[in-house]
Structures are given as structure tokens and as C-alpha cells.
């Protein structure tokens, strides 16, 4: 009977050495992790996929911060009693001021026609920021606590 010869490295057989190295490599490979961010579910600060194509939304996010958006939403909540779908708040002007950032503006052109169906309304606001005075169009929707939150904001055509 002819016996198969196993390759050896000294007194250790190579097959066993390779099996042990493979198991150790697999175990150590499981300890490492590589992740690739695919997007963001953060509504307040969306992920900008490319920086080379600017949009009016990018400008709005850099000019009006989260605190300003919270102040705008609080002002919309302040007139929440009047924001019924059958009331006319189109001609209402609401000033807002964020004392922390120093930004201020005036809410106007509040359109509450879809408020009853979607819980959202559209509005325009001016904003006096370090970048100057601009006009923005936005949408605010009611969250689970029935408070308004600014969901979209972009530079409007004057």
C-alpha cells in the first residue's frame, strides 16, 4: 500500500498550520467593522450628498439654524388657535427673534388650506441673518405632540 505524503514545515504539517491561521484570521476579522454611511434620517439637518451642486435648500440650512427653526415653529404654535382650516390667516404677519443667534424675521403668507388633511401648512419668512436679509419659503407640520416643526425651508424668489 502506498502512503500519501503530507507536506511539512519542520515537524508541523502545513495543512494544520493553514487551518489554524484561517481560523485565527476569521476570528480577528469578525472583531473589525467597516461601515459606509448611506444617508441620514435626521430631519433637521439632511445629508447633502454632493457639495458641488448647491441648491436653495443648502443656503437655508446654513443661514437659519435649528434654534431659529424652533422659534419659527413656536410662533406658529402661538397662533395655533387661529390656524384652523376654515380661518383666514393669509394676511397675518408674525415677527420672530432668536436672542441666542441674533437672527430675526417676519412670518407671512401662511397658507393653512391643507392643515386639516395633512397637518401641514406653508409659509414665507424673511430672515435677517449675518448673510443678509433673504426671503424663505417653508413648510411646517404638526408632530406627534401636535406642535409645529419646520420640515422644509428654501430661499424663495422675491
- pTM summary value: 0.60
Q: In Å, how far are 28, 57, 115, 133 from 130, measured between CA atoms? A: 52, 17, 33, 8
Pairing of strands 132-142, 148-155: antiparallel
pLDDT of residue 55: 55
SS3 63: helix
Binned average pLDDT, 10 residues per bin, the chain of 158 residues: 58 70 70 54 52 56 85 85 56 88 91 83 90 89 88 82
pLDDT of residue 85: 46
Residue pair 104/97 in contact by the 8 Å Cβ criterion: yes
pLDDT of residue 48: 52
pLDDT of residue 111: 84
pLDDT of residue 130: 84
pLDDT of residue 92: 78
Amino acid at each position: 500500500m502506498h502512503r500519501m505524503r503530507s507536506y511539512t514545515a519542520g515537524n508541523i504539517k502545513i495543512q494544520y498550520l493553514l487551518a489554524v491561521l484561517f481560523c485565527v484570521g476569521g476570528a480577528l476579522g469578525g472583531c473589525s467593522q467597516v461601515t459606509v454611511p448611506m444617508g441620514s434620517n435626521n430631519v433637521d439637518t439632511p445629508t447633502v450628498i454632493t457639495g458641488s451642486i448647491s441648491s436653495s435648500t443648502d443656503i437655508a440650512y446654513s443661514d437659519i439654524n435649528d434654534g431659529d427653526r424652533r422659534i419659527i415653529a413656536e410662533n406658529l404654535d402661538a397662533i395655533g388657535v387661529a390656524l384652523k382650516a376654515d380661518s383666514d390667516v393669509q394676511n397675518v404677519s408674525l415677527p420672530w427673534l432668536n436672542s441666542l443667534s441674533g437672527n430675526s424675521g417676519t412670518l407671512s403668507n401662511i397658507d393653512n388650506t391643507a392643515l386639516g388633511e395633512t397637518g401641514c401648512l406653508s409659509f414665507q419668512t424673511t430672515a435677517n441673518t449675518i448673510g443678509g436679509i433673504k426671503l424663505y419659503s417653508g413648510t411646517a407640520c404638526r408632530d406627534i405632540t401636535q406642535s409645529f416643526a419646520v420640515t422644509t425651508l428654501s430661499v424663495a424668489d422675491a
